[in-house]
């Protein structure tokens, strides 16, 4: 029931906040002493969040000037739980994470502004686990790692890219033993 009330208030609060002056203003609404909903302005954007006994509890959503969502998070008793999503200014999804008791758990994905998947990594109890894959803006796999308990194992396929600029078009198999780098072998054109 609390979340339904919050959802109904969001539109009204959004409209009301647009009518007040921008720059550090905030407004509080208490719902049946269960939680407090705050609307805060910051340089033209604004956020709506719920608190319970001064801890974040419920959705915290930040909006851009055009009323589009910038990001959203969900909290239970001050700890992040459930999905977190962030959007590019063009409205396409930028990142999506999953939390349990404040720790990353499950899939972590990021996307380029063109909507192409950039990265997908799996987390268990806040540690990278299972795999991590990175793609270029065209969707080509440029790196892949096998990870257990936050430590790289086996082989990794990698390409050197810094700030979205490719410095080496040669891909390599990077070898790890219990998280320690053991060397690499370039991948020949036939193996690509």
CATH of the domain at 117: 2.20.110
Contact present, 99 and 124 (Cβ < 8 Å): no
pLDDT-derived band at 142, boundaries 50, 70, 90:
confident
Question: What pLDDT was estimated at residue 123?
Answer: 87
Contact present, 104 and 97 (Cβ < 8 Å): yes
Asked whether residue 72 carries a pLDDT value surpassing 90, the answer given is yes
Domain that includes residue 113, residue range: 81-186
Residue 85 lies in a domain: yes
* Number of domains, the chain: 1
Q: Residues 16-67: pLDDT tens digits?
A: 444 443 344 444 444 344 456 677 766 667 777 777 766 888 888 888 888 8
HEC-encoded secondary structure of 64-96: CCCCCEEEEEEEECCEECEEEEEECCCCCEEEE
Residue 1 lies in a domain: no
CA dihedral of residues 51, 53, 55, 59 (deg, nearest 10)? -20
Residue 146 lies in a domain: yes
Residue 113 lies in a domain: yes
Q: Residues 151-174: pLDDT tens digits?
A: 666 556 665 555 555 444 455 555
Contact present, 131 and 139 (Cβ < 8 Å): no
Residue 9 lies in a domain: no
């Amino acid at each position: 029931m609390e979340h339904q009330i919050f959802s109904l208030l969001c539109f009204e609060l959004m409209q009301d906040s647009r009518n007040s002056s921008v720059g550090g203003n905030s407004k509080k609404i208490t719902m049946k002493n269960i939680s407090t909903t705050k609307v805060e302005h910051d340089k033209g954007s604004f956020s709506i969040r719920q608190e319970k006994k001064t801890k974040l509890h419920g959705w915290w959503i930040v909006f851009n000037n055009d009323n589009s969502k910038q990001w959203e998070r969900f909290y239970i008793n001050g700890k992040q739980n459930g999905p977190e999503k962030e959007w590019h200014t063009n409205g396409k999804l930028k990142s999506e994470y999953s939390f349990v008791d404040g720790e990353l758990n499950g899939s972590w994905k990021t996307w380029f502004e063109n909507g192409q998947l950039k990265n997908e990594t799996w987390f268990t109890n806040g540690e990278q686990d299972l795999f991590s894959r990175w793609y270029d803006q065209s969707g080509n796999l440029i790196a892949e790692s096998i990870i257990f308990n936050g430590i790289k194992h086996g082989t990794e396929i990698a390409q050197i890219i810094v700030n979205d600029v490719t410095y080496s078009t040669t891909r390599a198999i990077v070898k790890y033993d219990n998280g320690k780098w053991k060397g690499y072998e370039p991948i020949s054109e036939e193996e690509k």
